[in-house]
Amino acid sequence: MFKVYISKAKSKPLDIKNNTAAAQAEIDKARAAGAKLIVFPQGFLTGVQLGIVEDMLYLNRAYNDTFSKLATDNPDIYILGDMRRIMDGKNAFRNALYKGSSVNSGENFEIDGFKFHSFNSVKDIDERKLSVSDFMDTDCVIINESAPVFAGSRILAKKFFSTLSKMLGVTVICALGGYGYTSHPDIYMPAAGCFNKKTEYFSTTLEEFVNGENMFTIPKGELGDIFITRLPSLEFDILFNQNPLVPRELDEKEYCLDLFHLQSLSLATRMMNIGCKTAVVALSGGLDSALALLVTVNAFDMLGLDRSGIRLISMPGFGTSATTKGLAGDLAESLGLELKMIDITDACRQALLDIGHDGVTPDITFENVQARMRTLNGLNLANAVGGIMVGTGDLSEVMLGFSTYGGDHLASYGVNSTVSKTVIRTMLPYVIQLENIAPAAKAITDILNIPVSPELVPHGGEILQKTEEILAPYKLIDFFIYCFVIAKMSPIEMAQRASCVFEGEFSPSYLKEKAQMLHRRFITGQFKRSAAPEGARLTHVNIAGSQRSIPSDAGTGLFNYFLGE
């Protein structure tokens, strides 16, 4: 038997000094536990998403020298880490086995008669088309990858690792880095696991990762006892249906709770890395801010922070209805949080009068001043309490640019930006089943039963503006988002596909009009996405970041061309 210890220490981006101290503490624990080998996830000393620093040669020197010094200071234990070197003209991480002053390739090695294969990319295993015969003399396969993940990735990864172990007849150990690596533009998977005939362990949440097992015992390898022709896919096979942004090949509840966990993990990571213990949420009584609050509550619980650090404000204005105002209060109370009401009516009217507006005419300026005043108060309060303002905007709004520039478009950190409106509606009934969220079940159910509204014009106390009447039903908007981003369809193809999937629910002319609308708003809303707050990409629908942006001053001629116009 051979004992392997997996490091699960937190790694802060680029903080090589503190990360080295954390590595030494893990080595000490491994030694005390009797391990002969300690495994560090890829890029542990710095994180792996490094931006402009990625190409700096001094980073390579610092990284490699630091790992070498760790090994030299601990000559009695093998360290499977990595080193940075230039590969194909780019800096890259490659596995390395350290022992005292020596360093060797970490891909294939032997310790005390036990033979190991290691990979710092799961795709390497799949793409190399390795056969069982390639592992005839292997006792253990180690995967120590640090890769961005989407909701559902851990579900697919567990199936992959379990099947790989059965196929090869060897122990498969996973040391997947990600605890604290970064919160933008991606989130990383903090997971540890061991798969063999006697053990099938895989951490699936941050709590399990931190508090779960570190030490695993490896038996000698045996021939695979089942015949498997291929490994499970690591990619989603997204299919056309009325809600295609929820992958149908995964259990809906499991996927939704995984997405909620990643939302919470991304916010928790941001707060950990910047040393923040306070967050401001502007609660409107609608879906988006409700989910943002639940994510914030879960992140605080995840970090062991007192919920009193969550500062809730609700800011009724010209268009706020009694319904949403009451729901905001109910939701706050159900979670044991204090809600501060700040009536912005007078402040907004004064701001309008200051620029020569009559303060009464319900034009675009009248509507937008309310959104901007709410953001101003939220950001100012975040400054005052030393916290961050949690953004509430969702993917559907981001896609259409349906937000006020400098208003609800801004925040310190966005948690919903890759989650569409229909996915939020799908998620919330599962989220309120979680023990720490369950007290909010009635309030969330009531919120789910009211129409989506920006509430920006006077109405006499009731909800007057209904977003789905202004734009289109969100189930159609989100279906079109899938067609555009994932299926890469032209407007006319989108309308044709929707007519099939929704079976005559919408007329052909209506579908054509709304497909045009989505493309037009996508282009004209680019300037908002270019200046959007940071947030992690948590789903397979990605329209943020410089690689996905289009010119903010682009025209719509390309899309009109496909409509014969």
Task: Give the pLDDT score at 366.
Answer: 92
Q: How confident is the model at residue 457 (pLDDT cuts 50, 70, 90)?
A: low
Question: What is the torsional sign of CA 527, 533, 535, 539?
Answer: negative
- pLDDT grade for 129, boundaries at 50, 70 and 90: low
8 Å CB contact between 311 and 340 = yes
Range with lowest mean pLDDT among 80-94, 199-213, 476-490: 80-94
- Look up tokens 């005939």; give the residue: 197
So what's the pLDDT on residue 253? Answer: 96
Over 70: is that where the pLDDT of 398 sits?
yes
In angstroms, the Cα distances linking 89 to 86, 92, 147, 565 are 6, 9, 21, 46
Considering only CA atoms, which of 488, 456, 441 is closest in space to residue 238? 488
Integer angstrom CA distances of residue 259 from 149, 412, 450, 476: 10, 21, 24, 22
Buried b (16+ CB within 10 A) or exposed e, 371-391: bbbbbbbbbebbeeeebbbbb
Report residue 364's pLDDT band, with 50, 70 and 90 as the boundaries: very high
Residue 255 and residue 260: Cα distance in Å, rounded? 9
Above 80 in pLDDT, residue 192?
A: yes
pLDDT of amino acid 433: 98
Query: Radius of gyration (Cα) for the chain, nearest Å?
Result: 26
- For 33-62, the pLDDT digits (tens) are 999 999 999 999 999 989 899 888 899 999
Q: Classify residue 485 by its DSSP letter.
A: I
Confidence of residue 137 (pLDDT cuts 50, 70, 90): confident
Closest CA to 151 of 54, 230, 254, 72: 254
CB 388 within 8 A of CB 412: yes
**Per residue in 276-308, pLDDT tens?**
999 999 999 899 999 999 999 999 999 999 999
Highest mean pLDDT among 223-227, 378-382, 551-555: 378-382
For the residues 99-120, what does the mean pLDDT come to?
94
d(CA 457, CA 464): 8
Residue 82 has pLDDT above 80, yes or no: yes
What domains sit in the chain, N to C, each tagged with a CATH number? 2-218 (3.60.110.10), 252-467 (3.40.50.620)
Q: Could you tell me if 347 and 375 are in contact, meaning their C-beta atoms sit under 8 angstroms apart? A: no
158 residue type, one letter? K
d(CA 326, CA 285): 7
From the list 275, 315, 401, the residue with the least C-alpha distance to 10 is 275
Residue 474: pLDDT band (50, 70, 90) is very high
pLDDT band at 275; cut points 50, 70, 90: very high
Listed range (72-76, 241-245, 257-261, 421-425) with the worst mean pLDDT? 241-245
**Cβ of 343: how many Cβ atoms within 10 Å?**
12
The pLDDT mean for the chain works out to 91
pLDDT mean over 527-553 = 87
Answer positive or negative: Cα dihedral of 521, 524, 530, 532: negative
Helices (H) and strands (E) in the chain, counts: 19, 17
Q: Which residues contact 181 (CB under 8 A, 6 or more apart)?
A: 11, 13, 43, 47, 48, 49, 146, 188, 269
**337, 310 contact by CB (below 8 A):** yes
Q: What is the mean predicted confidence (pLDDT) over 333-361?
A: 96
Q: Phi, psi at residue 317, to the nearest 5°?
A: -135, -150
Candidates 426, 385, 87; CA nearest to 246 is: 426
Distance between CA atoms of 414 and 529, rounded to whole angstroms? 12
pLDDT at 128: 67
pTM: predicted TM-score of the whole model, two decimal places: 0.93
Name the nearest CA neighbour of 416 among 259, 269, 276.
259
Say what the pLDDT of residue 525 is: 93
- Cα–Cα distance measured from residue 78 to residue 111, given in angstroms and rounded to the nearest whole number: 9
Instruction: Answer whether residue 98 shows pLDDT above 60.
Output: yes
**pLDDT for position 177:** 85
Q: How many CB atoms lie within 10 A of CB 362?
A: 12
Residue 282's CB: how many other CB atoms inside 10 A?
A: 26
Amino acid 56 reads M
145 pLDDT above the threshold of 80: yes
Name every residue whose Cβ is closer than 8 Å to that of residue 426 and which is 6 or more positions away in sequence. Answer: 243, 246, 252, 256
pLDDT band, very low/low/confident/very high, at 318 (cuts 50, 70, 90): confident
pLDDT digits (tens, 9 = 90+) for 251-269: 999 999 999 999 999 999 9
Confidence of residue 451 (pLDDT cuts 50, 70, 90): confident
Tokens representing residue 435 in the block: 């023990």
- Helical residues (DSSP H) of 275-355, grouped into ranges: 287-303, 322-334, 345-354
Reported in sequence order, the residue ranges of 10-167 that DSSP labels E, i.e. its strands, are 37-39, 78-87, 90-99, 102-105, 108-111, 114-119, 140-143
Average pLDDT of the segment spanning 203-214? 93
Instruction: Look up residue 168 and give its two tokens.
Output: 């090869």
Note the pLDDT of residue 314. Answer: 96
**Backbone φ, ψ for residue 544 (5° rounding):** -105, 170
pLDDT tens column, 483-519: 999 999 999 999 999 999 999 899 999 999 999 999 9
pLDDT at 325: 84
Mean pLDDT in residue range 450-475: 69
Answer yes or no: is pLDDT of 243 > 80.
yes
Name the pLDDT band for 465 (thresholds 50, 70, 90).
Answer: low
Q: What is the predicted pLDDT for the residue at 227?
A: 54
